[in-house]
Amino acid sequence: MFSIDKKISEWVSKGIINNTQAEAITTYENSKESKSWAIYGVLGLGAIVIAIGIISVIAANWELFPGYVKIINNFLLLIATAGATYYAFIKNKEVVFEALLLFFILLCLASIGLISQVYHTGGHLYQALLIWSVITFSVMMSTRHFLVAFIWVIGFFAGLSFLATEATFMDSVFLKSTRPIVLCFPYISAILALIFMKFPKYSAQKNAFWVYGLVSLVLGLFSFEVAYSGNLRSYGALTPIVPGAVLGGVAIVAAYFSQFFKRNRLVLISVIAVLYFIAFVSAFYFKVDKVIAAVLTILTLLALSLFLASYGYRKTFQFILSLVGIRFLVLYFQAFGGLAATGIGLIGSGLLIIFMVYLWVKYKERLTHLAEGALNE
């Protein structure tokens, strides 16, 4: 609230608004239930901590009580949480409702763990995560806020990741490696986000899939490319990249048919999908030269940042662009790593870092404006 008060005083002093308008804005802002990210974040954190506490109590083997008592207590807690969630909904307590919804879906995961413990089930982790994703899907669809949907999306993709490495039937495709499935994540996220875009009331779910797609693309590409490019050994079989290729194609076709993107953005989204595939596969799968891999990563990130800028996501654009700068630096140390061991080399490296920061500070706004206007149709 402090920031809005400060802004209102500034607008009044500059003559943009008068005192009556300032009072009206202040009254309106004060009457609203606070929905700030900080409150959602802290409440979400609280819910996660409580859920982890419950999981810890379960894991510490609550030996004073027999299995059936634990199960009954667990269901009573689930029912009570569901009741409290419903009550918060009908009373229009949005923040409490979202916090309870988050607590409820985490409690469902803890319940699967408890049932597994009481009945001594030693199944795979993907089974627990995917069962959780399926049974809490309806709850995820009830949220109107990003956090609950995003936690569900993380659990769902973690389940898919373990499925690729632990399930017998997946062995012939992914060859017991988690890495090729990471190639598929941004495409799966994009396809699901496009589906949710068809239903405007599910904007929290749509945003969760878009954000996960963006994060998995950047993290997957950035970490795997840096870690694996330049390694001479490559995979023998091509099968692990087939799902990524197919899903990438499906994502592009879905974007074309969705009619959500105009021509320029459609071309750019296709370019991002193709560049990401080439960058990931060449660096991670075929383990090409470090410089080529870095250039492909940088091109992918640049295309992505341009796409984000065209939608006015200024901060995200600047963040991705700073990642491009970091990749340049990492490449510098990859190529001239020996220099860091000498005094002159360290001085040169330090100067390069300072020069890049100077360029960034000086041209950040100009670059942002340029990128924002690049795709205007």
Partner 1 sequence: MSKENKLKMALAIPILCLLLLVGYKKYILSYGHEVKLPIIGYDPRDLLSGQYLVYTIDYGVKVCSDKSGRKDAFVCLSNKTFAYNKSKNCKVFIKGECYRGRFSAGIEKYFIPEKRAKKLEDLIRDKKAHIILSVTKSGVAQIKELLIDNKPWSESF
Instruction: List interacting residues with partner 1 (CB under 8 A).
Output: 59-61, 63, 71, 75, 78-79, 82, 85-86, 89-90, 104-105, 108, 111-112, 115, 117-123, 131, 134-136, 138-139, 141-142, 168, 171, 176
Helices (H), 1-118: 2-13, 19-31, 37-59, 67-90, 94-118
Q: Which is nearer to partner 1, 106 or 320 (CB)?
A: 106
Find the shortest distance in angstroms from Cβ 33 to partner 1: 18
HSE of 359 in the Cβ direction (CA atoms, 13 Å)? 9
Find the shortest distance in angstroms from Cβ 127 to partner 1: 9
Q: Which is nearer to partner 1, 66 or 350 (CB)?
A: 66
Q: Which is nearer to partner 1, 86 or 355 (CB)?
A: 86
Q: Which is nearer to partner 1, 100 or 283 (CB)?
A: 100
Question: How far is the C-alpha of 57 from the C-alpha of 102, rounded, in Å?
Answer: 19
Look up tokens 């802002």; give the residue. 29
58, 110 Cβ separation under 8 angstroms: yes
Find the shortest distance in angstroms from Cβ 120 to partner 1: 4
Q: Which is nearer to partner 1, 131 or 299 (CB)?
A: 131
Question: How far is the C-alpha of 125 from the C-alpha of 241, rounded, in Å?
Answer: 24
Largest CA distance in the chain: 73
Find the shortest distance in angstroms from Cβ 235 to partner 1: 16
- Terminal CA-CA length for the chain: 38
Find the shortest distance in angstroms from Cβ 161 to partner 1: 17
Per DSSP, 230 falls in state T
Find the shortest distance in angstroms from Cβ 59 to partner 1: 6
Q: Which is nearer to partner 1, 95 or 115 (CB)?
A: 115
User: Measured on CA atoms in the order 191, 216, 142, 316, is the torsion positive or negative?
Assistant: negative
Question: How many C-beta atoms surround the C-beta of residue 336 within 10 A?
Answer: 13
